[in-house]
Structure 1
Amino acid sequence: MNKLKKLFFIFLFITTLEGKDIEAKYSFTLSSGVTDMIRDKEKLYISTLEGTLFSFDMYSKELKNLVKMPKTKDFLDEKMPSKIYSVDILKDKILLLAQGFKGARQLLIYENQQLRTVLSDQKHLFISQAKFINKNLIIFASLANEIYLYNITSKKTLYIKQISASKFSHFVLNEKKDEIIIADESGDLKVHNSFTGSFIKIYEKQNLDNVFQVDIKNNVILTAGQDRRAVVYNQGKTFYKKVNFLIYACALSPSGKLAAIANDEENNVLIFDTKTKKELFELKGNKMLLNHILFINEKELFISNDGKTINYYILP
Structure 2
Amino acid sequence: MKYLLITLLATLLIHSRELTPIATLKASGIVSDIVEDKGYLYVATDSGVVDVIDLTTQKITKQIHFDPIVRSDDLITQTRIHSIDRFGGKTLMVTSAANAYRHVWVEQNGTLTKVIDAKKHKMPKCAFFDKEGKIVLGTFGSDIMRYDTAESFSLYERHISESTMGGMALNKKREKMAISDESGRVQLIEINSSKVVQEFDSQHVDNIYRVAYRGNIIITAGQDRRVGVYIGKERAYHIKSDFLVYSVALSPSGEKALYSSGTEHHLQLFNPATGMKGDKLVGHQATPNKILFITEKAIISAGDEETVYFWMLP
Q: TM-score, normalising length from structure 2?
A: 0.93
Distance in 2, Cα, partners of 1:177 & 1:14: 40
The match for 1:4 is: none
The match for 1:22 is: 19
Residues 28 and 229 of structure 1: is their aligned pair in 2 closer, same or farther, counting only changes over 3 Å?
Answer: same
Q: TM-score, normalising length from structure 1?
A: 0.92
The match for 1:55 is: 52
The match for 1:301 is: 299
Residues 310 and 197 of structure 1: is their aligned pair in 2 closer, same or farther, counting only changes over 3 Å?
Answer: same
Secondary structure class of the residue paired with 2:119:
helix
1:237 to 230, 235, 256: 235
Residues 298 and 123 of structure 1: is their aligned pair in 2 closer, same or farther, counting only changes over 3 Å?
Answer: same
2:259 pairs with 1:261 = yes
Superposed structure 1 runs of 4+ greater than 6 Å apart: 13-16
Secondary structure class of the residue paired with 1:157:
strand
In 2, are the aligned partners of 1:90 and 1:135 still within 8 Å (CA)? Answer: no
Distance in 2, Cα, partners of 1:306 & 1:170: 17
After TM superposition, give the deviation of residue 14 of structure 1 in Å: 10
Secondary structure class of the residue paired with 2:99:
helix
Unaligned runs of 5+ in 2: 1-9
> Which protein is bigger by CA-based radius of gyration?
1
Distance in 2, Cα, partners of 1:147 & 1:265: 33
The match for 1:106 is: 103
In 1, are the aligned partners of 2:16 and 2:278 still within 8 Å (CA)? Answer: no
The match for 1:128 is: 125
After TM superposition, give the deviation of residue 141 of structure 1 in Å: 1.2
The match for 2:75 is: 78
In 1, are the aligned partners of 2:12 and 2:278 still within 8 Å (CA)? Answer: no
Spell out the pairing of 1:2-21 with structure 2 (5 A cutoff): 17=14, 20-21=17-18
Spell out the pairing of 1:143-292 with structure 2 (5 A cutoff): 143-235=140-232, 236-292=234-290
In 1, are the aligned partners of 2:178 and 2:218 still within 8 Å (CA)? Answer: no
In 1, are the aligned partners of 2:201 and 2:236 still within 8 Å (CA)? Answer: no
The match for 1:67 is: 64
After TM superposition, give the deviation of residue 101 of structure 1 in Å: 2.2
Distance in 2, Cα, partners of 1:16 & 1:187: 30
The match for 1:9 is: none
Residues 278 and 15 of structure 1: is their aligned pair in 2 closer, same or farther, counting only changes over 3 Å?
Answer: closer
After TM superposition, give the deviation of residue 129 of structure 1 in Å: 0.5
**How many positions carry a matched residue from both structures?**
304
In 2, are the aligned partners of 1:75 and 1:103 still within 8 Å (CA)? Answer: no
Distance in 1, Cα, partners of 2:273 & 2:13: 21
Distance in 1, Cα, partners of 2:199 & 2:71: 38
The match for 1:139 is: 136
Distance in 1, Cα, partners of 2:74 & 2:285: 34
Q: Which amino acid aligns with 1:25?
A: I
Identity %: 27
Secondary structure class of the residue paired with 2:206:
coil
The farther-off stretch of 296-305 and 170-179 is: 170-179
What RMSD, in angstroms, separates the aligned Cα atoms of the two structures? 1.7
